[in-house]
Each structure stands twice: as structure tokens, then as C-alpha cells.
Amino acid sequence: MKRTLTSLTLPLLLAACSAPPTEQAVTTSTTTTETVTITPAPGTTTDPASTSTDQAAAPATEDGCLKLAYPLPISYKGDPLNTLCNGYYTAGYSELDQLTRVTAEQLTPNMLEGNTSRTDDFREDDRLHSTLRPTLNDYAGSGYDRGHLAPAADFKFSPTAMSQSFLLSNVAPQNPELNQGPWAGLESATRACARETAEPGGLTVLTGTLGDTGKLKDDQVTIPAAFFKLWYSKEKNDYRLWVLPNTSLPKMSGAEYRKYEVPLHQFREFWSDFPGAPTQLAEQQYGTLCPGVMPLKQ
């Protein structure tokens, strides 16, 4: 069953998202009934924190997974998510949708100080079954960008981390104008907030996909209706949360991003199994974290 965003009540988002698609049978053969934690990421030839450079910058891990200040969702609207641990970010992957529904990072200022170049080595994630994972061919000629969830620019401190960000389990079909415009601006703001808060354990960043507007050309990989990004500061007990429709959006000023900001309680009404904050947040109110980091370069 296709899941749309019609439960989210943000008026502007509803206007921007396409009408709910007609229902069709799910073609995936998955029989997953519980979450599975998979580690390490393919291409990791050493312990993720084994080098002195990586060790100085990387957030804390346990058994190959990040120690997160905000709990990672283990299901999306009843669909269990496989947990993919990559050392520097963690992904919650839906076999049903062949799409990652959420990634989590603990973003520290040190992670943003490196000079590692983009590797652009997009590749399949061999930890996932060959019939239940996206391929390069799925995206070829589709008209959609391979939009990063955990951005490559967050991992300039480490060649290993940079390469891991190009796993196809860390991308989603994203409108090119959104990816290269407002979404890039929001990613830049996230890094600015991580520098500003400078929390010892890092700014918690959850990024993900919502809804379903169809499939890529091979009728397997779900095209999300929207993307979200959540910042959470444990020390400041504050957050910010945006939901942007997966459509052509022009570049925005800082004030224009406000139109796509939502309070946490409203977001959790749509994604009912999204965890609440581990601290007593005022979920009924908009977050106020890092108010000065926008507008941004796009």
C-alpha cells in the first residue's frame, strides 16, 4: 500500500505534494518481521575509529553503531526497518520500500574540519539481499538525483567515512532542484549548527524520507513524497524540524525555510512509531535551536 503525506497537516506541504497515488499491490517478497542490525559497512577494511585522524573526529560508537542521543526509529508506520551501522552514521532501511527511511548522525565540529574530497563511488550495499536493494540502474535515466540522506560533506574528516556515504542505502530519489537548492542549504545549515552548539557528543541529526509517490523505472525503489531533517541538542534540550516536499523548489532565503518547519508533535502524528525525545521537550511548540544559521549558501 502506498503511504502518502495526507495525514501531515502542514498546509504548504500538502499543497506542494502531489495527490495520493492509486493503491497497487506491493511487489517485494520480503518477510521481515523484526529489525536486523548489520555491521560493518562494505568497503571498511579497518576498524572505523582505528586511525588517529578518524579517532579524533568521530563520535562515540558501540559495537560498530553510533551512540545516539535521540533514539533511531525501528519501524516506519508499522514496517520494520533494518538497522545498518556504518560507524559514522546509522541507517534504518525498509525492504518493503527498498528505501532508507531514516539516517542518524552525531555531528561534531571536528568532523567538519577535514579536506577529504568527494569519492562519488555510488554502489550497492552488499549487506542487503540482491532483490531487496536499489541498484545504479534503478537511478539511471530516472530524472531523479541520488540524494544523500547523511551528506557526503559531513564526512570530510575521513576517506572511509566519505566512501561509506555513497552507499545506495544512504540515498533516495530526490528532485534535482530540491537536492541542489533548498536541501543543500539545509545541509549547510546543519553543519553550521553543529559548529555553533559544539556539543561533546555531537549534534544529533536525523534525516529521512516520508510517504510514497510511485516507484523508479523498475517498479521497486520507492520515490518519497517528502524529506525531513531533525536537529536535536541534548545539552540545550532543544530541536528544529523541517519537512520539504520532493518537488521542484526554488532556492530559499532563511525566512522562507520557516514555511516548511513543523513542531515535533505534528510530525509524530504522521509517523506514529517515531520515537519521542529522550528529554522533556515541548513537542507542541516549534524548536528554537540555532536560530542564526540561516539564510545559507545554496
DSSP 69-86: SSPPPSEETTEE-EEEE-
Question: Does 30 or 98 have the greater pLDDT score?
Answer: 98
Distance separating alpha carbons of residues 75 and 248, to the nearest angstrom: 29
DSSP code for 24: -
* Cβ–Cβ under 8 Å, residues 155 and 165: yes
Q: What is the pLDDT of residue 253?
A: 84
Q: What is the pLDDT of residues 96-141, one digit of tens each?
A: 999 999 999 999 999 998 899 999 999 999 999 999 999 999 999 9
Q: What is the pLDDT of residue 292?
A: 84
Confidence of residue 47 (pLDDT cuts 50, 70, 90): very low
Distance separating alpha carbons of residues 228 and 187, to the nearest angstrom: 11
Confidence of residue 22 (pLDDT cuts 50, 70, 90): very low
Q: What is the pLDDT of residue 13?
A: 54
Averaged over 25-45, what is the pLDDT? 43
| Residue in 101, 127, 146, 148 annotated catalytic | 148
Averaged over 210-231, what is the pLDDT? 95
Q: What is the pLDDT of residue 10?
A: 53
Question: Does 56 or 148 have the greater pLDDT score?
Answer: 148
C-alpha dihedral (227, 268, 72, 221), degrees to nearest 10: -40
Cα 96 versus chain centre, distance: 17
Q: What is the pLDDT of residue 61?
A: 75
Distance separating alpha carbons of residues 37 and 182, to the nearest angstrom: 32
Told to judge if 129 belongs to the known catalytic residues of this protein, a careful annotator would answer no
Q: Could you give the domains of the chain?
A: 41-217+262-298 (3.40.570)
Sign of CA dihedral 17, 92, 89, 279: positive
Cell 503525506 belongs to residue: 5
List the Cα angle 119/124/128 in 5-degree steps.
140
Is residue 147 pLDDT above 60, yes or no? yes
% the chain with pLDDT above 70: 79
Q: What is the pLDDT of residue 283?
A: 86
Q: What is the pLDDT of residues 80-93, one digit of tens each?
A: 999 999 989 999 99
Cell 539516517 belongs to residue: 103
Sheet with 203-210: strands ordered across = 37-38, 82-85, 90-94, 99-107, 203-210, 226-233, 238-245
Q: What is the pLDDT of residue 108?
A: 93
Q: What is the pLDDT of residue 224?
A: 98
* Cβ–Cβ under 8 Å, residues 194 and 108: yes
Q: Pull the grid cell for residue 228.
A: 525531513
Averaged over 195-203, what is the pLDDT? 93
Cα 244 versus chain centre, distance: 12
Mean pLDDT of all residues belonging to the chain: 84
Q: What is the pLDDT of residue 41?
A: 53
The whole-model pTM stands at: 0.85
Distance separating alpha carbons of residues 169 and 177, to the nearest angstrom: 21
* H or E element at residue 203: strand 203-210
Q: What is the pLDDT of residues 235-283, one digit of tens each?
A: 999 999 999 999 999 888 888 999 999 999 999 999 999 999 898 888 8
Helices (H), the chain: 11-16, 52-57, 136-139, 159-164, 176-180, 182-197, 254-257, 264-270
